[in-house]
Amino acid sequence: MNFGILGSGSWGTAIAKILTDNGNTIHWWNRSEDHIKYIRQRHHNPQYLSAAHFDVTKLKLTTNPAEVISNSDCIVVVIPSAYTDEALKTLERNVFEGKKVISAIKGILPDSNLLLNEYLKKEFNVGLQNYFAVLGPCHAEEVASEKLSYLTFSGIDEIATHEIAACFKTNYLNTVENNDIYGVQYAAVLKNIYAVGAGIAHGLDYGDNFLSVFIANAADEMAGFLKKTGIKNIEVGHTDMRKPAEVHRTNNYAASVYLGDLLVTCYSLHSRNRAFGNMIGKGYSVKAAQLEMSMVAEGYNASKCMHSINQKVMADMPIAATIYEILWEGLTAVDGFAKIETVLV
């Protein structure tokens, strides 16, 4: 199986490390010819995860995304959602024909409010049977340090999902499989919004007691949205112990790809969404916080996208709605969290 990677940020670099550590030669797209030269000479990314060193004989680097796609069976798309359309719009409509596409994007395309699979279907006619998502509580920095992590691979073709997951399994990365392709993507979008909220709470000097209540309610709110969009069997704590973990397929909201990712994104100091929210809680304007950040906080655009999507879904989402008001409608962080206090249980 030949892998290509579109994207060379922190998560793209982490995925490149995982695949090459497993002996795979990868085709890797980088926008900058200077960065490509640097990686070839110094064996690490000059801008992200400099601790992750590569065997450069396993890297086929290029500034041409079409070249990566043509030379690969499986293409991992790991471009920030705000820039995905710009990066792919010059490609031919049939460029993904016969390819498997793996989304490692934890966001939603802000110009269209589409998940990546919906965008690829519309623009490139990629069918859901050839689309997969890799998500979970897995910070790129910890992958670079080879700290044990778990990733969930989701796809409706269970055999192909299993084959792809096997290529990522290492002594520091365990893999989980499910078939909830929409649920895991929406959960990844929502957890970024709640992580911004957790950061705002921290910046406002709320304590751990409040934060635990906030996250518990956010988890329940997320489950409510997923149920409303037709996802089945999402119940906190529901587990079918009759099946071994490696073949467990129940869409269990307490699983790592749902609750685990929410927890780590809300609590971890590696979380860029938490850091973004923390600055807003401390008094930064949204624009000033964005300028201060060196990486994209997906929760900012996600809050607007999910606010729009929920106009049709009509799930009860007072926390996400208030975070949207803080980020997009000028509601102060203090007044917003005074509202949130009244809905928590």
As a whole number of angstroms, the distance between CA 235 and CA 150 comes to 21
For residues 151 and 168, is the Cβ–Cβ distance under 8 A? yes
The structure tokens 């100091």 sit at 269
DSSP assignment of 92-116, as one string?
A: -TTTTTT-EEEE---S-BTTTTB-H
Instruction: State phi, psi for 102 to the nearest 5 degrees.
Output: -115, 120
Angle between helices 208-228 and 181-203 (to 10 degrees): 150
For residues 173 and 152, is the Cβ–Cβ distance under 8 A? no
For residues 262 and 194, is the Cβ–Cβ distance under 8 A? yes
The DSSP call for residue 79 is: S
As a whole number of angstroms, the distance between CA 302 and CA 75 comes to 24
What's this model's pTM, rounded to 2 decimal places? 0.90
Domain ranges of the chain: 3-179, 183-341
Beta bridge partners of 151: 175
Q: Is 209 helix (H, G, I), strand (E, B) or coil?
A: helix
Q: From first to last of its 345 residues, what are the pLDDT tens digits of the chain?
A: 899 999 999 999 999 999 999 999 999 999 999 999 999 999 999 989 988 999 999 999 999 999 999 999 999 999 988 899 999 999 999 999 999 999 999 889 988 999 999 999 999 999 999 999 999 998 888 988 999 999 999 999 999 999 999 999 999 999 999 999 999 999 999 999 999 999 999 999 999 999 999 999 999 999 999 988 865 444 444 444 444 444 444 467 778 899 999 999 999 988 999 999 999 999 999 999 988 887 778 899 999 999 999 999 999 999 999 999 999 999 999 999 999 999 999
- Helix H, strand E, coil C: the string for 246-273 is HHCCCCCCCCHHHHHHHHHHHHCCCCHH
DSSP assignment of 131-146, as one string?
A: EEEEESS--HHHHHTT
The CATH topology of domain 183-341 is N-(1-d-carboxylethyl)-l-norvaline Dehydrogenase; domain 2 (1.10.1040)
To which CATH superfamily is domain 3-179 assigned? Answer: NAD(P)-binding Rossmann-like Domain (3.40.50.720)
